[in-house]
Amino acid sequence: MTTHFVIIGNGAAGYRAAKALREADADAQVSVFSDERYPFYLRRQLGDFLSGAMTLQEIVFQSRNAYRRERIDLFLMTPITSVDPDAHVVEFASSPPVRYDRLLLATGTEAVLPAIPGRDLTGVTTFDTLTEAADLRDSLKAVERAVILEEGVIGLTLAESLLAAGVHVTQLMAGERFWPEALDETTSARLEALLEERGVVLRRQAAARAVIGTAGRCAAVELADGQRLSADLVACGCRRRPATRLAEAAAIEVGAGIRVDETLHTSRPDVFAAGDVAEPAGADPAAPAGGAFCWQRAWAQGATAAASMLDQRPQAVAEAVRIRTTLFGLDLAILGQGHLPAGGSVTVREHHDGPDIWRRLVYRDDRLVGAVVLGTGESVHELGRLVVEKAARERAEAVLAPPEAAEGDDLVPTTFARHCPICAAELVVHRGTREGAVLRCHACNTDLVVCWDGRHGWFEIRRP
Ligand SMILES: Cc1cc2nc3c(=O)[nH]c(=O)nc-3n(C[C@H](O)[C@H](O)[C@H](O)COP(=O)(O)OP(=O)(O)OC[C@H]3O[C@@H](n4cnc5c(N)ncnc54)[C@H](O)[C@@H]3O)c2cc1C
């Protein structure tokens, strides 16, 4: 009998799981339900789409035809309203329920919106989906001044793209330093300096009390002290929480996210969860608020969930990475408890390598429990592995040895590592690799072109 795998959510985790299920079981029926308008797209690159660096064709990674070719049934703009694990069905607002044999909840996160008056005015937006990014891109010509209400990766991404479009950007900070829940003091200071250098106005200890509108459109943000900042765009929702509503209503065990064991199985039979919505057993309770959501982990968990749904009982791979992003061309990675301050049994070693590159290694009882790497992708993968292992100090310090340089015309002069733009797996380019060479991602098999601008290396996706 044909097995019916149903997946709710078509982001990194859901898409990866659908592909893996189809590859492993040619006879199965694979159905993916998404409440969005577009097929799978590179959500973490919405900023590139907004700034015009990526086209719609580039950011939408899998066309509807490709789903058809692979016999994955994709249902767009089809929100699932409830799940009944006893009856093994998913339900919709206005169509009959669908029966599943195995179900994957890959519903991602939802915005935590500020409870302030004026939130519904035109021009007040979240920046979470391609639809929102496309609407924003269409209206950008009319935007002169933007205010970003909260700190986080989404706000940083948005700030960079808006600046590139010539918009004046103000970022509100709740405290004295940038995003203290996720970042240590030095990383905060470095990001603040970077943002200010690029033209973002930082308002410290500033909370929005209301958005003020004229004729239904936002015109200003009113701060708690009564000051008003002009704004024809107000961005909110940079803080996220796992989208657990379906699970809660179905009496599936939920903590901060949907609780899963090491095979990503939930508390109910035949129901699995993966990606940002999942809370794996043993998840770090000190994960930073609004920052523990990660494309790389979602992608990896999609593959693990598919193997579990196929009864292969895989062990989920422990991932130290909490934040992995690129800001103004600089890599930023927060691994494990990289944000912990020194004190008690915690010691910190900071390592500066030129003006842009800095690494922070955090030890508890001389074991590596976290790291921050800013300015380079190099060593992130290795440090991540050592954080998972809680490696001894000597092994961690050895990673910080400077790379060798080499001469060459169109040859990359130094070994560097960057993440795959599709699945965010760590890929190493060795010194002496030819610029323009094609490298295949070991995790998602995407062909990538090696690029080098004399100082930094990166990958571009090679289209067939
Ligand atoms: C602007 C932006 C920049 C980012 N930058 C980075 C970055 O630099 N690095 C990084 O690691 N991460 C980044 N992220 C976060 C990253 O995109 C997420 O961690 C990743 O997408 C999580 O994948 P997921 O599959 O778990 O969930 P998602 O990609 O969120 O997908 C979940 C999908 O499920 C759908 N869904 C939810 N409920 C239902 C329902 N009831 N019925 C049908 N469909 C439903 C949602 O609409 C959504 O499409 C960024 C995110 C944004 C928005």
On whether residue 265 sits in a domain, the answer given is yes
Identify the CATH number of the domain in which residue 61 sits: 3.50.50.60
What's the average model confidence in pLDDT over 397-404? 70
Domain interval for residue 440: 416-461
What's the average model confidence in pLDDT over 82-108? 97
Ligand 1 and 369: CB distance under 6 A: no
Ligand 1 and 32: CB distance under 6 A: no
Residue where one domain finishes, among candidates 309, 333, 354? 309
Q: Counting beta carbons within 10 angstroms of the beta carbon of residue 6, is it exposed (0 to 12), middle (13 to 18) or buried (19 or more)? A: buried
Residue 332 and residue 392 in one domain: yes
On whether residue 116 sits in a domain, the answer given is no
Residue 139 and residue 217 in one domain: yes
Q: What is the pLDDT of residues 324-372, one digit of tens each?
A: 888 887 888 899 999 899 999 999 998 887 777 888 999 999 999 999 9
Residue that has been written with the tokens 């080098």 in this structure = 452
On whether residue 406 sits in a domain, the answer given is no
Nearest CA among 456, 106, 52, 50 for reference residue 304: 106
Residue 325 and residue 345 in one domain: yes
Q: What is the DSSP letter of 95?
A: S
pLDDT at res. 214: 94
User: Which residue out of 8, 48, 135, 153 has the highest number of ligand 1 atoms within 8 Å of its CB and is therefore the one to mutate?
Assistant: 153
On whether residue 405 sits in a domain, the answer given is no
Residue where one domain finishes, among candidates 370, 398, 426? 398
Nearest CA among 255, 218, 256 for reference residue 240: 256
Domain count, the chain: 4
pLDDT at res. 404: 55
Residue 140 and residue 228 in one domain: yes
Q: How far apart are CA 350 and CA 359, in angstroms?
A: 6
Q: What is the pLDDT of residues 6-61, one digit of tens each?
A: 999 999 999 999 999 999 999 999 999 999 999 999 999 999 999 998 899 989 99
Residue where one domain finishes, among candidates 201, 235, 269? 235
- Measuring from atom 18 of ligand 1, which residue has the nearest CA? 295
Residue 103 and residue 244 in one domain: yes
Residue 103 and residue 249 in one domain: yes
Identify the CATH number of the domain in which residue 351 sits: 3.30.390.30
Residue 105 and residue 9 in one domain: yes
User: Which two three-digit tokens encode residue 1?
Assistant: 């009998």
Q: How far apart are CA 277 and CA 47, in angstroms?
A: 22
Amino acid (one-letter) located at 125: T
Residue 139 and residue 222 in one domain: yes
User: Which two three-digit tokens encode residue 372?
Assistant: 């921050």
Tell me: pLDDT of 201 over 60. Answer: yes
On whether residue 403 sits in a domain, the answer given is no
Identify the CATH number of the domain in which residue 436 sits: 2.20.28.160
Return the ligand 1 atom nearest residue 325 CA.
Answer: 8
Tell me: pLDDT of 427 over 50. Answer: yes
Give how far Cα 122 sits from Cα of 47, 232, 387, 392, Å: 21, 9, 45, 54
On whether residue 314 sits in a domain, the answer given is no
Residue 93 and residue 145 in one domain: no
pTM for the model stands at 0.90
Residue 135 and residue 218 in one domain: yes
Tell me: pLDDT of 409 over 90. Answer: no
Ligand 1 and 34: CB distance under 6 A: yes
Residue 129 and residue 198 in one domain: yes
Helix (H, G, I), strand (E, B) or coil at 254: strand
